[in-house]
Amino acid sequence: MTLAFPRLTQAANAPGLIRSEFIFETAPFPSCHASTIVETPSGLVAAWFGGTHERHPDVGIWVSRHENGRWTPPVEVANGVESPTVRYPTWNPVLFRPKEGPLLLFYKVGPSPSTWWGMMMTSTDDGRTWSAPRRLPDGILGPIKNKPVQLPNGDLLCGSSTEGAEGWRVHFERTSDLGQTWVRTPALNDGKTIAAIQPSILIHGPERLQALGRTRQGRIFEIWSHDGGRTWEPMRLTPLPNPNSGTDAITLKDGRHLLVYNHAARPPMRTPLNVAVSPDGRQWFAALVLEHDPAAPAGFSYPAVIQTSDGLVHITYTWKRERIKHVVLDPQQLRLTPMTDTIYLWPE
């Protein structure tokens, strides 16, 4: 059983929508995916991977900054060049600005998700220039798709995962010194009963956390911690559908939780792309449909979401693997509708 998302108006006319735009219209690459977004004192910064196609060695990490009301042209800031004859694709950038310290950029390099390794760079000028890349310690991948959270003691808690021979397995990584040293939990699922990756972390109190993410089981997973992410309860499936596609979520300043995901249960349907809101992380209310086009094979996927200092919500996502879209919402103006306990299927 999954929850049915009511047939809400798509974002073009939806309550709460402030702006919808492409970050770029043309770019030096034909394909892009896996965006991330962050607020800095100078404005928004977004990043994604782009190249010939996913897994191609020419795929690099591209960055754009929002200045004077528009996005700057994309600039490649990282790639997988190892030598004059060896180059690997890059993957899944994650931007994060801690309360103190430089802007952080995490990403992965390697032939595939089962063999990639974690990398990071820093910027002291809000993404205009970047440090030399640094490889993370063996066994540490960094935040695998979605942003970390900074805990009250200053630690960064990163949702991570692996996709190796043991299946899709979630774990969490923690750094108390902005990526210099790390500790990680063991894998928190067996990788097969629930094959799960790419957690997002929600905050329910100083020590109480919830993580949500992608699975191969047709539903979003959840897992809870009561000690600040050091240990976690058993993983379980929620009623929310998931077509084996990335999600992202945040805890809003008013204590509610906002989730961006594909409300469909059948791969490879990465449409529609939806927003839901919850008062407690358990009961979710439909808010709006960002995109829906059953005729678009590449779909709309891999959202990233933040809330900026003015209270607005910013979402970026992959649009048909061709461009990155940026949407701005006022979470106080969203019209919430209860979901129903019935199987959800979009018409063909």
What average pLDDT does the segment 113-141 reach?
98
Residue 11 backbone phi and psi in degrees, to 5: -55, -25
Is residue 29 pLDDT above 50, yes or no? yes
Tokens in use for 167? 């299946």
Domains within the chain, CATH numbers bracketed? 17-336 (2.120.10.10)
Predicted pLDDT at 347: 32
215-249 residue pLDDT tens: 999 999 999 999 999 999 999 999 999 999 999 99
Least confident of 115-129, 250-264, 332-346: 332-346
Q: What is the pTM of this model?
A: 0.96
Tell me what the mean pLDDT of segment 4-18 comes to. 79
Please determine, for residue 341, whether its predicted confidence score (pLDDT) is greater than 90.
Answer: no
Question: What local confidence, expressed as pLDDT, does residue 4 receive?
Answer: 83
Q: What pLDDT, on a 0 to 100 scale, did the predictor assign at position 150? A: 98
Q: What is the mean pLDDT of the chain?
A: 95
Contact 122, 103 (CB under 8 A): yes
Res 294 pLDDT > 70 = yes
Task: Dump pLDDT digits (tens) for 76-120.
Answer: 999 999 999 999 999 999 999 999 999 999 999 999 999 999 999
pLDDT band for 345, please (50, 70, 90 cuts).
very low
39 has pLDDT over 60:
yes
Instruction: Tell me: pLDDT of 306 over 80.
Output: yes
